[in-house]
Structure 1
Amino acid sequence: MDYLTIFVVLSFFLTFIYAFIISCRRTSRLPPGPYPYPIIGNLLELGDKPHYSLATLSKCYGPLMSLKLGSVTTMVVSSPHIAKEVFQTYDQSSSSRVIPDAARLVDHHKYSMVWLPAGDQWRRLKRITRESMFTMQRLDASEIVRQEKVQELLEHVSQYCSNKKALNIGAAAFTTTLNILSNAIFSRDLSQHDSVSSQGFKDAVCGLMELSGNPNISDFFPILKPFDLQGFLRRSNVYGKKLLSIFDMIIDERTQERSSSSYDGDHSSKSRDLLDLLLDLSMKDESEISPNDMRHLFLDLFVAGTDTTSTTLEWAMAELIRNPHKMEKARSELTKFMQNNNKNIHEHDISKLPYLQAIIKETLRLHPPAPLLLPHRAMLDLEIQGFIVPKNAQILCNVWAMGRDPSIWSDPETFIPERFLEVKIDYKGQDFMLIPFGAGRRICPALNSAHRMLHIVLGSLIQKFDWKLEGNIRTRDMDMGERFGISLSKKVPLMAIPIKL
């Protein structure tokens, strides 16, 4: 054997040994976690309620826990101080995404502000969306639309009062939320109360949320993605194409309207909807935002904005009906502040209604709309609390577990809005014990819009009506079971009879 061959073999051998030692050293510094089984890892320990299973495991292994979900290395964060390190100290390095296979519908992940990595394209879409829809000026200008849709909701509920029929509160909240969004984006309603017109839209949105959040073998074993063994991607494509076809039709109609000789393009930008503003940007420079970018942006806004908001409202009403003294306390605050029960709550009133704010915070603590947030991905090795979070590891933040941690909250399983009257804790990304909308650069961009909608809708339903369960069911017997997905919805819809005050 010549010297060159010996040198090559020796170099290869030493490189292998070095890589093995480094790998073992890094693995030995992984956060603690349950021992993984061959091939499947810790998949059997997830169960049908992963947020609950992971919370139980974290009690054994600590607030930063490592799991092997199939072939995917996963870190689970279950405490505010670890969440602060991930989303603040290592914000940039942990801001990439792990994309569920179901989110690849119609190539959505290539254009989506939700799933894109935090690069130039993502920053451009985030800036455009913020400036066109979520600045305080834009939100103030669109308040009248939200008031109109809340009034329509109250008129709808009044019909149920007259007929003494039980209302599906979640469905009514979904229609209201959907029309608030669709008017801000398209200046039109996309549904009517008690109409099948919104059912297809709602089924598509809820279907996408459930598919994206449910365990999918393709996510745990990426080598199996081309086979779509559970059909998640196929079903997601059906839902996605249905929604995109609606958006295409609306974009085409608006484009034709704008090209007509009667179109007045000079009216105030304050009265123009998001579609108008995006079309203006596209006409100036299509590289800024293309028609395809628009349709995928609309998909993000509707999927993220309708189901999560209506689900939170349904949970809030369920908790208040279970706790009638809390409902009465909230109503007394509203009556005292409004002085006249015929007066409607406005958005500038929210800051003067501390108990109503406390109810929203307590609902988001107990029932965060996204119990594990959306999955992050480490872009490089991160050292947290002496442990290594390896590059490309999936990072899940169990905000559901944090909201029920007895070391953070007294009597954590009980609905006690009063706890937020005693401390200044908010959900806008700075108080890490309460981050239902996330934190850091990936915080939900529609947070301020959701904040307004949640308060005025819930406040109006409390102020104008009392509520009793259908069939004289005792409130303590109400089914409070959860259905897991990316959003955490109520397993059994809340049906309640409104009583006009």
Structure 2
Amino acid sequence: MALSFALLALSILLIFIAYNLFLRLKAKLPPGPRPWPIIGNLYDIKPIRFRCFAEWSEIYGPIFSFYLGSQLNVVVNNAQLAKEVLKDNDQNLANRFRTKPLTNVSRNGSDLIWADYGHHYVKVRKLCNLELFTLKRIEALRPIREEEVTSMIHDIFRDSSKPGNVGKSLIMRGYLGLVSFNNITRLTFGKRFMNSEGKVDEQGQELKQIVSNGMKIGGKLNLGDFVPWLSCFFKDDNEALKAQDSHVDRFTRVIMAEHTLARKKTGETKQHFVDALLTLQKEYELSDDTIIGLLWDMITAGMDTIAITVEWAMAELVKNPRVQQKAQEELDRIIVSDHVITESDMSKLSYLQSVVKESLRLHPPTPIMLPHMAGATVKIGGYNIPTDSIVHVNVWALGRDPKVWKDPLHFRPERFIEEDVDMKGHDFRLLPFGAGRRICPGTNLAINMVTSMLAHLLHHFKWSPPFGVETQDIDMLESPGTVTYMRTPLQVVPTPRLPEHLYERIPIFV
């Protein structure tokens, strides 16, 4: 009896595999690993997904497909295929696939990042391009960014100069995370959630809790998102989503009300994004859900990615002292010795800009582009991509493709001096901010922040590995997740390079 049941189960499995292979060949879908019944390839994917996809591309080719439950996914892994996705078929692949957590955080696609392509997306994109991320507004908010970066330099100098700390290593992530947190909250909500003693206030603690819970909930890959009839088995997750949604709504509406009241009292509209959105609400016919969704787009997109990018760049500069020295020689040449760097100096630092590009090539903070969804059947790489398929661009693989990059694993910023490679969506070999209709609207702001933070860190300090640690021993592997933190937080030893008065904190005004 048991043997008969086993044979029946095996027969059903073989029939399923054969039928799936038949459908894949008949529909001319990209090749890929064989899916299991019900779950598809859900448990075949390794935790570091972009590395897993790069390995699969070695087996199945630069374009392949796999299944999450019954949902077809397609991954492209080279620049030519990325161009077909993001330029040639851009409009038909501009929709988004949203899991339940993403549906909640985006207010059912009422934001920008997770909205499907259509009238709403075009309207909100226009708002971002013409109102929020203009050169005028970015320049008006520059003092905030410069205050926070110089505050970080002061904190590093203070902590590394304490008795007993000289020559000892610091964990960079805390400093980078703090400046990124303060920058993005001040730009978005117009508030620095920190008191004069350097402690996060009650509202700031609430914000951190919301972000932390959101990352935990959003990072889960639940089968119920891909096999609808199984969703009833995930009731606990649904309750957690409702609680998170309520928390986000309550927190954001309090801040919106504070700004509305302040404008009524003073008659003054500030440059912060929350003020701008509330002022433009009627003109652009924005719902409260859209405003809340847009504010959280900015928080989630900007809080982690800036810190991640700078940490990877610093790790490469410590591993490659030749590059660090060359970048510092440029700073010493361009920046007067008793001068505090400002963002206006960044355009003069061509080698430092190449360092940023090279770091983003090897370590894009979002290594797999946010998922595109087919609104119509298209052809990519000669294969059919049916309507409602999810399409991923493996940005990490693009930047390490030996067919287009010489010595792709070698950190060599000079390659971008020898050839001017665009990283704002026009050259499909380098796409840290995406391309086409879904390119990140805050690209210029992000580049400004990363370059400024690196310039200050390199101008003020020489950076070395901890005592007894060789450069080749620095852990350069990633942790799992949508964004790629270093698996082991970077520890480095800072040595001041400038006169002591240049490490003073600039007074902060909110």
The answer, yes or no, to whether TM exceeds 0.5 is yes
Q: Does 1:305 align with 2:302?
A: yes
Q: Does 1:382 align with 2:413?
A: no
Distance 1:239 1:474 in 2: 44
Distance 1:352 1:157 in 2: 26
1:471 positional shift? 5.4
Matched residue of 2:481: which SS? coil
Equivalent of residue 248 in structure 1, options 253, 267, 272 = 253
> For the Cα contact (< 8 Å) 2:107–2:289, is it kept in 1?
no
1:196 positional shift? 4.7
The residue that corresponds to 1:223 in the other structure is: 229
Distance 1:477 1:234 in 2: 44
Q: Does 1:257 align with 2:253?
A: no
Q: Does 1:289 align with 2:286?
A: yes
Q: Kindly tell me: are residues 441 and 24 of structure 1, through their superposed partners in 2, closer, same or farther at Cα, counting changes over 3 Å?
A: same
Q: Kindly tell me: are residues 203 and 479 of structure 1, through their superposed partners in 2, closer, same or farther at Cα, counting changes over 3 Å?
A: farther
Distance 2:206 2:174 in 1: 12
**CA-atom RMSD in angstroms:** 2.5
Q: Kindly tell me: are residues 467 and 302 of structure 1, through their superposed partners in 2, closer, same or farther at Cα, counting changes over 3 Å?
A: same
**Aligned residues with identical type, % of pairs:** 35
Distance 1:121 1:488 in 2: 30
The residue that corresponds to 1:173 in the other structure is: 176
Distance 2:485 2:237 in 1: 19
The residue that corresponds to 1:154 in the other structure is: 153
- The aligned length equals 470
Question: Residues 93-136 of structure 1: CA distance to partner in whole angstroms, max 9, x if unpaired?
Answer: 00000112321335633322111101112222222223332111
Comparing 273-282 with 55-64, which one deviates more in the overlay? 273-282
Question: Residues 467-491 of structure 1: CA distance to partner in whole angstroms, max 9, x if unpaired?
Answer: 2344543332222221121111112
Pairing of 1:13-24 with structure 2 (within 5 A): 24=23
> For the Cα contact (< 8 Å) 1:211–1:485, is it kept in 2?
no
Matched residue of 2:193: which SS? coil
Matched residue of 1:293: which SS? helix
> For the Cα contact (< 8 Å) 1:378–1:389, is it kept in 2?
yes
1:200 positional shift? 5.6
> For the Cα contact (< 8 Å) 1:45–1:53, is it kept in 2?
no
Matched residue of 1:56: which SS? helix
Distance 2:481 2:371 in 1: 13
The residue that corresponds to 1:195 in the other structure is: 199
TM-score by length of 2: 0.85
> For the Cα contact (< 8 Å) 2:170–2:492, is it kept in 1?
yes
Matched residue of 1:93: which SS? helix
Give unpaired runs (5+ residues) of structure 2. Answer: 1-18, 498-510
1:433 positional shift? 0.7
> What letter corresponds to residue 229 of structure 2 in structure 1?
I
Matched residue of 1:74: which SS? strand
> For the Cα contact (< 8 Å) 1:103–1:236, is it kept in 2?
no
TM-score by length of 1: 0.87
Pairing of 1:351-370 with structure 2 (within 5 A): 351-370=347-366
Distance 1:111 1:71 in 2: 26
Matched residue of 1:110: which SS? coil
Q: Kindly tell me: are residues 194 and 405 of structure 1, through their superposed partners in 2, closer, same or farther at Cα, counting changes over 3 Å?
A: farther
Distance 1:495 1:308 in 2: 19
> What letter corresponds to residue 61 of structure 2 in structure 1?
G
Q: Kindly tell me: are residues 101 and 27 of structure 1, through their superposed partners in 2, closer, same or farther at Cα, counting changes over 3 Å?
A: farther
Distance 1:417 1:102 in 2: 39
1:337 positional shift? 1.1
Comparing 92-101 with 251-260, which one deviates more in the overlay? 251-260
> What letter corresponds to residue 91 of structure 1 in structure 2?
D
The residue that corresponds to 1:102 in the other structure is: 101
Distance 2:267 2:27 in 1: 67
> What letter corresponds to residue 151 of structure 2 in structure 1?
E
Distance 2:170 2:245 in 1: 29
Matched residue of 1:254: which SS? helix
> For the Cα contact (< 8 Å) 1:101–1:225, is it kept in 2?
no
Comparing 162-171 with 86-95, which one deviates more in the overlay? 162-171
> For the Cα contact (< 8 Å) 2:188–2:298, is it kept in 1?
no
Distance 1:304 1:445 in 2: 11
Q: Does 1:212 align with 2:251?
A: no
Q: Kindly tell me: are residues 291 and 90 of structure 1, through their superposed partners in 2, closer, same or farther at Cα, counting changes over 3 Å?
A: same
The residue that corresponds to 1:274 in the other structure is: 273
Q: Does 1:86 align with 2:85?
A: yes
Distance 1:472 1:234 in 2: 49
The residue that corresponds to 1:445 in the other structure is: 441
1:438 positional shift? 0.8
Give unpaired runs (5+ residues) of structure 1. Answer: 1-19
Q: Kindly tell me: are residues 239 and 496 of structure 1, through their superposed partners in 2, closer, same or farther at Cα, counting changes over 3 Å?
A: farther
Q: Does 1:425 align with 2:398?
A: no
The residue that corresponds to 1:8 in the other structure is: none
Question: Residues 245-281 of structure 1: CA distance to partner in whole angstroms, max 9, x if unpaired?
Answer: 4322211212222333xx234xxx6x53222222222
Distance 1:246 1:132 in 2: 24
> What letter corresponds to residue 199 of structure 2 in structure 1?
S
Matched residue of 2:72: which SS? strand
The residue that corresponds to 2:15 in the other structure is: none
> What letter corresponds to residue 69 of structure 1 in structure 2?
L
> What letter corresponds to residue 142 of structure 2 in structure 1?
E
1:221 positional shift? 2.0
Q: Kindly tell me: are residues 442 and 213 of structure 1, through their superposed partners in 2, closer, same or farther at Cα, counting changes over 3 Å?
A: farther
The residue that corresponds to 2:14 in the other structure is: none
Distance 1:411 1:232 in 2: 45
Q: Kindly tell me: are residues 232 and 333 of structure 1, through their superposed partners in 2, closer, same or farther at Cα, counting changes over 3 Å?
A: farther
> For the Cα contact (< 8 Å) 1:205–1:239, is it kept in 2?
no
Distance 1:373 1:252 in 2: 35
Matched residue of 2:126: which SS? helix
Equivalent of residue 468 in structure 1, options 453, 464, 470 = 464
> For the Cα contact (< 8 Å) 1:94–1:376, is it kept in 2?
yes
> For the Cα contact (< 8 Å) 1:101–1:218, is it kept in 2?
no
Comparing 71-80 with 351-360, which one deviates more in the overlay? 351-360
Comparing 343-352 with 240-249, which one deviates more in the overlay? 240-249
> For the Cα contact (< 8 Å) 2:476–2:486, is it kept in 1?
yes
> For the Cα contact (< 8 Å) 1:95–1:442, is it kept in 2?
yes
Pairing of 1:330-369 with structure 2 (within 5 A): 330-338=327-335, 340-369=336-365
> What letter corresponds to residue 384 of structure 1 in structure 2?
I
> For the Cα contact (< 8 Å) 1:212–1:485, is it kept in 2?
no
Distance 1:26 1:60 in 2: 17
Q: Does 1:371 align with 2:367?
A: yes
> For the Cα contact (< 8 Å) 1:161–1:500, is it kept in 2?
no
The residue that corresponds to 1:399 in the other structure is: 395
Distance 1:401 1:274 in 2: 34
Q: Kindly tell me: are residues 177 and 124 of structure 1, through their superposed partners in 2, closer, same or farther at Cα, counting changes over 3 Å?
A: same
Question: Residues 25-71 of structure 1: CA distance to partner in whole angstroms, max 9, x if unpaired?
Answer: 98441112223233333233311111111111111211121212221
